[in-house]
Amino acid sequence: MSITVKSKTDLAKMREAGRVAAQALELAGKSIRPGMSTFQLDKILHDFIVKCGAVPTFLGYGGFPASACISINNEVIHGIPNRKRIMQEGDIVSVDVGATFQGFVGDNAATFPVGNISQEAQDLLTVTEASLYAAIEKAQIGMRLGDVCHAVEEYCSSRGYGIVRQYCGHGIGHEMHEDPEVPNYGKPGHGIRLMPGMTFCIEPMINQKGDAVRVLKDGWTVVTANGSLSAHFEHEIAVTKDGPVILTRP
């Protein structure tokens, strides 16, 4: 495992990349409406990132054909934008978007309601987002990576939700995926010790029921095995002497 510790200069640049990604995600939340296709939303995000002088990180990454992953309801992650995939009132839509700026990557995600959603869906969103902040709180100098990972698991499992285990958060910097891997489960007091200048993405992927997922025939879209709803929230953070700093702030 090769973890790159970032300098203050690096972190300043990462904050700028993170800001572009965060503004794109904020724009997604404001743009989503019933009747909109995921293709339309992707175009809005692509054009915004380019207008900011950045590059859409996801476009072409591993062959991915769009600038954002847009996943609806039981789709966990990696949904491919499509002209025929229309958002409906009551849906929940997960948007994962990245921007490369000044040689560094900003990466974040959130799940948004389309109009009025069920209480069950709202509870899932609330718990998933809260688990992200519970994990961020553990990203302190001297803590272990397992403390961060366990925070998500403990928060969501205790409320009866399923933890996606096949996919996880990751280190980030010049590349979107760097060491270490950051699962949404783990043992407190285990794993690497956190040091100032470490940067990684924490991204709870939480299912309404059960942990199991499968990949659709398109080779990208991950869905819950039982058809239940799934939510996804992600921030890019830095470990600093002043505590964890969220780099993906609008």
| CA pseudo-torsion sign 56, 60, 62, 64 | positive
| Ordered domains of the chain (ranges, CATH) | 8-244 (3.90.230.10)
Residues 67/55, Cβ–Cβ less than 8 Å? no
pLDDT band at residue 73, thresholds of 50, 70 and 90? very high
| Residue percentage of the chain with pLDDT more than 90 | 99
**pTM as predicted:** 0.97
pLDDT at position 99: 98
DSSP 69-120: EEEETTEEE-PPP-TT-B--TT-EEEEEEEEEETTEEEEEEEEEE-SS--HH
**Mean pLDDT value across residues 127-132:** 98
Q: Is 132 exposed, middle or buried (0-12, 13-18, 19+ CB in 10 A)?
A: buried
Dump pLDDT digits (tens) for 34-58.
Answer: 999 999 999 999 999 999 999 999 9
List Cα–Cα distances, 158 to 154, 182, 213, in angstroms: 6, 20, 20
The mean pLDDT value of the chain amounts to: 98
Rounded to an integer, what distance in angstroms lies between the CA atom of residue 197 and that of residue 242?
11
How much of the chain exceeds pLDDT 70, in percent? 100
Is the model's pLDDT at 223 over the cut of 90? yes
Half-sphere exposure of 2 (CA within 13 A, CB side): 3
Answer yes or no: is pLDDT of 10 > 90: yes
Q: Which of 75, 238, 98, 80 is nearest to 177 (CA)?
A: 98
The β-bridge relationship of strands 55-56 and 230-232 is: unpaired
- pLDDT tens digit sequence for 152-198: 999 999 999 999 999 999 999 999 999 999 999 999 999 999 999 99
Q: Is the pLDDT of residue 1 over 90?
A: no
pLDDT category of residue 32 using cuts at 50, 70 and 90: very high
Task: Compute the average pLDDT of residues 231-245.
Answer: 98
Q: Region 194-213: what's the mean pLDDT?
A: 98
| 122 confidence band (pLDDT: 50, 70, 90) | very high
